[in-house]
Amino acid sequence: MPSATSFIAFIALVSAYSITLAGQTMEANLDTAANRVILQERVVGASVLVVQRDKIILHKGYGFADLALEAPTQADSFYHVVGPIAPFEGVAIMQQVERGKLSLDDDISRLIPEFPLQGHHITVRELLNHTSGIVDYHYLGDQFESTYQVPKSEDEMMALFSGRPWVAPPGIKWDWSISNFQLLDMLIERVTGQTYDEYMQQNLFVPSGATTIIPCNNSTLVHGLSHGYHLSANGYTPATEDSAAAGYDLRYCSNVTDIYRVWHAVRQGKLLRPETLRLMSTADPSGLHISGHDPDVNYGLALVLNHEDSHRSIGQNGSLLGYSGSLYEFPAEDLTVVVLSNTAGQNAADIGMAVARKALGLPDVALQTNQISHNFLSDEPTTVTERSQFTGTYRLKVINGAYHESFSQYRQTYRVFQENGRLMIEALNEMPERLLKQKDGSFALASDPNAPITFVLSEHQPITINLTRYPGLKLSGERIGPGDIQTFHHM
């Protein structure tokens, strides 16, 4: 007859086996959720880390770090980090507040007197919660997009948006602007007397044990760095943007493990007092209802206050430079999800959302699928008259699809020109491409068959061109001059 001791040992063994089996099942479920989004959104490569109650549930690489070399993604492949660094910058600022070197209500003119406030008063708080009203240099068109491969100094970065009209009076309305982070970069340097990276390394990264968060740009050799990509109708195009052309907070490379380490140190109170993090995680009245389709998404201080059904989360996501990143924690469940990918778009956030919902026991949600277009394009002949009529330099603005106020100041210069009998189009400092005439009289590009380009002729008005710059962003503009290179590059 079995003894009581052996029976207890048997129960313990069964329980341990059940726990192990449940863990394996959860890992498989999360893996399936991540794969589903990666396939649907045509993500080239991604690394995913899911930690709950200090236990790793999923840590895996998907797809390719480099398509040309067919190099597989690793669990800790390196990426340009876009999105998750923003809360860390907020932590750096709040450290200065804790140390008495800054106040949230300080006017930034005290430390950045050269920035033209145009009669406004901007506080540190308004930079952190994106209610400053300062235009986002990322959404201005030519001024940034045509210099995406040109490294910039601090004053050159500030020149991108200084002197521009405000999108709203300070403190009144939330509107995302990475220009705020550029000014926060400058505040950190001027308060501490250190370079931005020196401060971040000594006060955030090293104390967290995060040794792989390093400055990087197109001139930096980073071993194991995943190549960035943009989606196109025909597949993918390599990203060529230089992070040195953007703000200091966008010039870092790392992996999911070290991004998690820094956030974990924040949550443990190693970098900030708990009450300071609670302040950062509290919705600012002006940051309420930041989403047009979800009234429960709010903003704190350098933190998005998000949710999956009734489960609240804090963090940040973003995309730039051909990369995507997402860091969100669900505090009540002690669940953190970090995703980095090498494909442009908010796919990292979507992967993180799908994985988090699975971990929380929530049903899947439908996602917008990035389908490869197989539309057949014709190539009708153009007449000499058409080529003569359409050539010119055009200045376009957004007429539909703007999702931030800064787009009201967006201006993009194109030229249409003839090249050995072919009708061509190019945006400023971008690759020229042939205009293919369609049977209905519109034009299209082989790189984007689903985005028709039309010319509008009017007897008493300059000729107008209409096109789609990004998915859903419609541009239109008049011809402002001839299509020669002198006019195009100097308008």
Q: Is pLDDT of 415 > 60?
A: yes
pLDDT band at 23 (very low <50, low <70, confident <90, very high): low
Question: Is the domain of 355 the same as that of 391?
Answer: no
Q: What is the pLDDT of residues 436-490, one digit of tens each?
A: 999 999 999 988 888 899 999 988 888 999 998 877 899 999 999 999 999 999 8
The DSSP code for 284 is P
Half-sphere exposure for 405 (CA within 13 Å, toward CB): 19
Assess contact for 327 and 345: CB atoms under 8 A.
Answer: no
Q: Are 144 and 409 in contact (CB under 8 A)?
A: no
What is the percentage of the chain residues whose pLDDT exceeds 90? Answer: 81
- Please give the pLDDT value at position 382: 93
What's the mean pLDDT in 80-108? 97
Residue 14 lies in a domain: no
Task: Write the pLDDT tens digit of every residue in 182-217.
Answer: 999 999 999 999 999 999 999 999 999 999 999 999
Please tell me whether residue 437 adopts helix, strand or coil conformation: strand
What phi-psi label fits residue 96: left (phi over 0), alpha (psi between -120 and 50 degrees) or beta?
alpha
- Asked whether residue 94 falls in the same domain as residue 143, the answer is yes
The structure's pTM equals 0.91
Indicate whether 18 pLDDT > 50: no
428 within 8 A of 142, measured Cβ to Cβ: yes
Cα 123-259-272 angle, rounded to 5 deg: 45
- Give CA 385 to chain center in angstroms: 43
- Is residue 266 within 8 Å of residue 85, measured between CB atoms? no
Give the C-alpha separation, 84 to 431, whole Å: 31
Residue of 240, 233, 238, 146 lying closest to 445 (CA atoms): 233
Is there a single domain that holds both residue 154 and residue 102? yes
Q: Residues 6 or more apart from 13 whose CB is under 8 A from it?
A: none
Distance CA 129, CA 172 (A): 11
Residue 274, domain member (yes or no): yes
**414 within 8 A of 394, measured Cβ to Cβ:** yes
Question: Looking at the domain assignment, is residue 185 inside a domain?
Answer: yes
198 and 83: one domain? yes
Please tell me the distance from the alpha carbon of residue 374 to that of residue 394, in angstroms, as a whole number. Answer: 29
* Residue 225: count of CB within 10 angstroms of its CB: 17
Residue 4 maps to a domain: no
Encode pLDDT of 136-183 as tens digits.
Answer: 999 999 989 888 889 999 999 999 999 999 999 999 999 999 999 999
Cβ neighbors of 306 (< 8 A, separation 6 or more) are 297, 312, 313, 314, 315, 328
Q: Does residue 379 lie in a domain region?
A: no
Query: 234 and 293 share a domain?
Result: yes
Q: Give the end of a domain, one of 359, 394, 429.
A: 359
Between the CA atoms of 239, 291, 254 and 90, what dihedral angle is there, to the nearest 10 degrees? 130
Task: Give yes or no for residue 240 having a pLDDT over 80.
Answer: yes
Whether 456 contacts 463, CB under 8 Å: yes
Per-residue pLDDT, 471 = 73
The residues, ordered by sequence, that sit 6+ positions from 418 with a Cβ below 8 Å of its Cβ are 387, 391, 424, 483
pLDDT of 295-336, one tens digit each?
889 999 999 999 999 999 999 999 999 999 999 999 999 999
Percent of the chain with pLDDT over 70: 93
Note whether 207 and 260 are same-domain residues.
yes
Whole-number pLDDT of residue 369: 63
Question: Domain range for residue 409?
Answer: 384-490
Q: N- to C-terminal Cα distance for the chain?
A: 95
Judge whether 9 lies within some domain: no
What are the residues whose beta carbons fall under 8 Å from the beta carbon of 213, sequence distance 6 or more? Answer: 81, 200, 201, 205, 252, 253, 254, 258, 259, 262
Is residue 11 very low, low, confident or very high in pLDDT (cuts 50, 70, 90)?
low
Q: Residues 117, 83: one domain?
A: yes
Record the tokens describing residue 3, joined without a space.
Answer: 């003894």
Verify that 315 and 422 share a domain, yes or no. no
- Predicted confidence (pLDDT) per residue in 267-281, tens digit: 999 999 999 999 999
Read off the CATH number of the domain in which 49 is found: 3.40.710.10
Using H for helix, E for strand and C for coil, what is the string for 351-414?
HHHHHHHHHCCCCCCCCCCCCCCCCCCCCECCCHHHHHHHCEEEEEEEEECCCCHHHHHCEEEE
At residue 457, the pLDDT reads: 92
Q: How far apart are CA 468 and CA 471, in angstroms?
A: 7
Q: Supply φ then ψ for residue 265, to 5 degrees.
A: -65, -35
Is residue 97 located within the same domain as residue 222?
yes
Verify that 239 and 147 share a domain, yes or no. yes
Residues in the chain, overall count: 491
Q: Which band of pLDDT confidence, cut at 50, 70 and 90, is reported for residue 19?
A: very low
Say which CATH number the domain at 451 has.
2.40.128.10
Asked whether the beta carbons of 474 and 398 are under 8 A apart, the reply is: yes
Round to whole Å and give the CA distance between 221 and 233.
Answer: 30
| Judgement on whether residues 43 and 187 belong to the same structural domain of the protein | yes
With contact defined as beta carbons under 8 Å apart, do 111 and 123 qualify? Answer: no
> Among candidates 483, 448, 486, which has minimal Cα distance to 463?
483
pLDDT at 386: 92
Instruction: Identify the pLDDT of residue 288.
Output: 66
Asked if the structure places residue 364 within a domain, the reply is no
Name residue 178's beta-bridge partners: none
By the 8 A CB rule, do 465 and 471 touch? Answer: no
Number of separate domains in the chain: 2
Residue 6 domain-assigned? no
Q: What angle do CA 192, 195, 197 make, to 5 degrees?
A: 115
Q: Are residues 351 and 450 in the same domain?
A: no
